[in-house]
């Protein structure tokens, strides 16, 4: 059971912590991501009152009969606590009056967590998910729509997104929907050797073409004929290989090292990188003519902090043998900045699966999360995290709360109320 923090002003996530998705088409929608009854997860809450006996009800024992009101003014969504017993918390702070909600804000009402998510565009609404892309957020709906739109096009696609967001999964989905009969050939560009060996790795070589060429090799491009060549870490592609690849894309012909003639190839090229490599943001050592050829179509994969609605679903997807989440654990997961994105979340899920084995619930300490200076539920920007504050104060929870800029009950929730050593 969560202990409510004392009244204070709610803090909206900064752009560095949680980039706001556009609210085109209306105010954010409110999605239940955690509730005492799992059947309520995924439910959307409409403007109006929410409580155990309000216009909209949820079976949450820690929710007052008339707990909270959500209202809309123009395109802005507001939340107002109705003098509830346990309070209403936004991004780790108990609110004292009407509070504006932005995309990806996390709201706690009793033991129920809701996330403000942009409305799903009509063009992306209703699309089923046969792409193995987990999530019901607006950002994921738009991503699925882009994948479906570009899947059967022959042009190259560059997939942009921060490290750990799942760019290869998006590329794989493009291939699976493409209808192409050839294979999926993934290549990490950092493994392609420069100079003379680049041509051999890309286009293959004939037996005896050079010292050590004891057998014929296809090369990545010819191997992907009638299929898809996926170039991961595109910015790591050596300059020698870039020139060769550009010619192959333009002419759709390749010649192996030692070969006597050009061979026609039909290859769809997909690339992935964490940042644009051409135009106003040229990559170091990357040819702009190749960038413009590859980036004919672009898909942006959102960071995890821009799709908080999906965090708990992804956590459950990665950990298959878990006891129920403690409400405090769910709040920690939803409020963290996740600078390592989905890959970092996956690590937390696997640790929780090990550390919680045999226990009744998954507690915050089972996640074994490293310090995170931008965690939304752990103090303001520039303040130390709760873990750091506890270390600096020798485990004194009262002093740590003051140093981190949170109330003492938030420190207790962070520790999972496990009775960890330290002064009260």
Mean pLDDT of the 347-352 span: 97
CA distance 420 to 198: 56
Which residue, 330, 412, 374, 302, is CA-closest to 115?
330
Residue-wise pLDDT for 355-372, tens only, equals: 999 999 999 999 999 876
What is d(CA 11, CA 14) in angstroms, rounded to the nearest whole number? 9
Q: Across 73-82, 200-209, 213-222, which has the greatest mean pLDDT? A: 73-82
Rounded to an integer, the average pLDDT of 9-19 is 35
* Encoded tokens for 295: 């980036």
- Position 125 scores a pLDDT of 60
The confidence score (pLDDT) of residue 130 equals: 64
End-to-end alpha-carbon separation of the chain, Å?
A: 19
CA distance 374 to 416: 20
> In Å, how far are 50, 86, 326, 373, 384 from 63, measured between CA atoms?
9, 7, 16, 31, 31
Cα 100 to its chain centre, rounded Å, is 24
Q: How far apart are CA 84 and CA 62, in angstroms?
A: 10
* Between residues 219 and 111, the one the model is more confident about: 111
How much is the pLDDT for 117?
96
Q: Which residue has the tokens 């997104």?
A: 161
What pLDDT band is residue 258 in, cutting at 50, 70 and 90?
Answer: confident
Place of tokens 């750091």: 388
Say if residue 58's pLDDT is above 80.
Answer: yes
- Comparing 16-25, 136-145, 342-351, the range with the smallest average pLDDT is 16-25
For residue 418, pLDDT beyond 70: no
Contact 272, 235 (CB under 8 A): no
The percentage of residues in the chain with a pLDDT greater than 90, rounded to a whole number, is 61
Short-list 268, 288, 267, CA closest to 277: 288
Residue 168: pLDDT above 50?
Answer: yes
| Whether pLDDT at 5 is above 60 | no
Position 279 scores a pLDDT of 58
Q: What is the DSSP string of 90-141?
A: ETTEE--S-EEE-TT-EEEETTEEEEEEPPPPTTTTT----S-----SHHHH
pLDDT at 256: 82
- Residue 253 · residue 262 · CB < 8 Å: yes
pLDDT at residue 13 tops 60? no
* Cβ neighbours, 10 Å, residue 356: 23
When pLDDT is cut at 50, 70 and 90, the band that residue 407 belongs to is low
pLDDT of residue 194: 75
Distance CA 257, CA 251 (A): 17
3-state class percentages of the chain: helix first, strand second, coil last, to nearest 5: 30, 20, 50
Average pLDDT of the chain, as a whole number: 84
Q: Is the pLDDT of residue 187 over 90?
A: yes
Query: For residues 73 and 93, is the Cβ–Cβ distance under 8 A?
Result: no
Q: Count of CB atoms within 10 A of residue 282's CB?
A: 13
What integer pLDDT is reported at residue 370 of this predicted model?
Answer: 85
Residue 381 has pLDDT above 50, yes or no: no
Answer whether 137's CB lies under 8 Å from 309's CB: yes
Q: What is the mean pLDDT of residues 111-135?
A: 80
Confidence class for position 262, pLDDT limits 50, 70, 90: confident
pLDDT at residue 403 is higher than 70: no
Better-scored residue on pLDDT, 424 or 267:
267
CA angle, residues 403, 100, 382, in degrees to nearest 5? 25
Query: What's the count of helices (H) and strands (E) in the chain, helices before strands?
Result: 12, 18
Q: Where are the alpha helices (DSSP H) in 324-377?
A: 327-335, 341-355
Q: Confidence band (pLDDT; 50, 70, 90) for 339? A: very high
Residue 122: per-residue pLDDT = 73
State both tokens at 253: 């012909």
Q: What is the Cα 285 distance to its own chain's centre?
A: 29
CA torsion sign for 236, 239, 240, 244 is: positive
Q: In angstroms, rounded to a whole number, what is the distance separating the alpha carbons of residues 217 and 214?
A: 9
Can you give the pLDDT at residue 377?
44
Confidence of residue 126 (pLDDT cuts 50, 70, 90): low
- Quickly state the pLDDT bin for 398 (edges 50, 70, 90): confident
Question: Mean per-residue pLDDT for 197-202?
Answer: 84
Asked if the model's pLDDT at residue 131 lies above 80, the reply is: no
Report in angstroms the alpha-carbon separations of 244 from 229, 233, 240, 254, 413: 15, 17, 7, 9, 57
């Amino acid at each position: 059971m969560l202990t409510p923090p004392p009244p204070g002003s709610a803090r909206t996530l900064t752009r560095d912590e949680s980039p706001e998705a556009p609210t085109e088409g209306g105010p954010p929608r409110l999605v239940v991501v955690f509730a005492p009854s799992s059947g309520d997860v995924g439910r959307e809450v409409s403007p109006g009152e929410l409580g155990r006996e309000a216009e909209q009800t949820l079976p949450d024992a820690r929710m007052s009969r008339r707990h909270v009101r959500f209202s809309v003014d123009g395109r802005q969504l507001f939340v107002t606590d109705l003098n509830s017993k346990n309070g209403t918390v936004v991004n780790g702070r108990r609110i004292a009056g009407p509070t504006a909600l932005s995309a990806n804000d996390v709201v706690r009402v009793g033991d129920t967590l809701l996330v403000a998510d942009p409305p799903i565009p009509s063009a992306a609404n209703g699309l089923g998910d046969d792409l193995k892309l987990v999530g019901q957020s607006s950002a994921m709906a738009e991503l699925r729509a882009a994948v479906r739109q570009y899947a059967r096009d022959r042009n190259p696609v560059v997939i942009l997104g921060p490290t750990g967001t799942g760019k290869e999964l998006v590329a794989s989905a493009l291939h699976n929907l493409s209808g192409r009969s050839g294979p999926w050939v993934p290549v990490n560009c950092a493994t392609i050797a420069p100079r003379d060996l680049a041509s051999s790795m890309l286009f293959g070589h004939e037996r005896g073409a050079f010292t050590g060429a004891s057998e014929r090799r296809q090369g990545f491009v010819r191997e992907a004929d009638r299929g898809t060549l996926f170039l991961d870490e595109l910015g790591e592609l050596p300059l020698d290989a870039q020139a060769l690849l550009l010619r192959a894309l333009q002419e759709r012909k390749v010649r192996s090292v030692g070969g006597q003639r050009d061979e026609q190839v039909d290859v769809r090229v997909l690339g992935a990188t964490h940042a644009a490599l051409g135009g106003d943001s040229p990559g170091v050592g990357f040819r702009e003519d190749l960038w413009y050829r590859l980036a004919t179509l672009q898909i942006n994969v959102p960071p995890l902090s821009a799709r908080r609605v999906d965090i708990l679903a992804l956590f459950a997807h990665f950990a298959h043998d878990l006891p129920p989440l403690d409400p405090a654990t769910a709040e920690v997961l939803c409020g963290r900045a996740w600078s390592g994105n989905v890959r970092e979340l996956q690590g937390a899920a696997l640790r929780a699966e090990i550390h919680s084995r045999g226990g009744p619930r998954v507690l915050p300490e089972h996640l074994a999360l490293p310090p995170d200076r931008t965690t939304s539920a752990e103090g303001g920007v520039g303040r130390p995290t709760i873990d750091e504050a506890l270390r600096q104060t020798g485990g004194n929870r009262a002093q740590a709360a003051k140093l981190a800029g949170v109330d003492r009950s938030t420190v207790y929730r962070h520790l999972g109320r496990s009775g960890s050593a330290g002064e009260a």
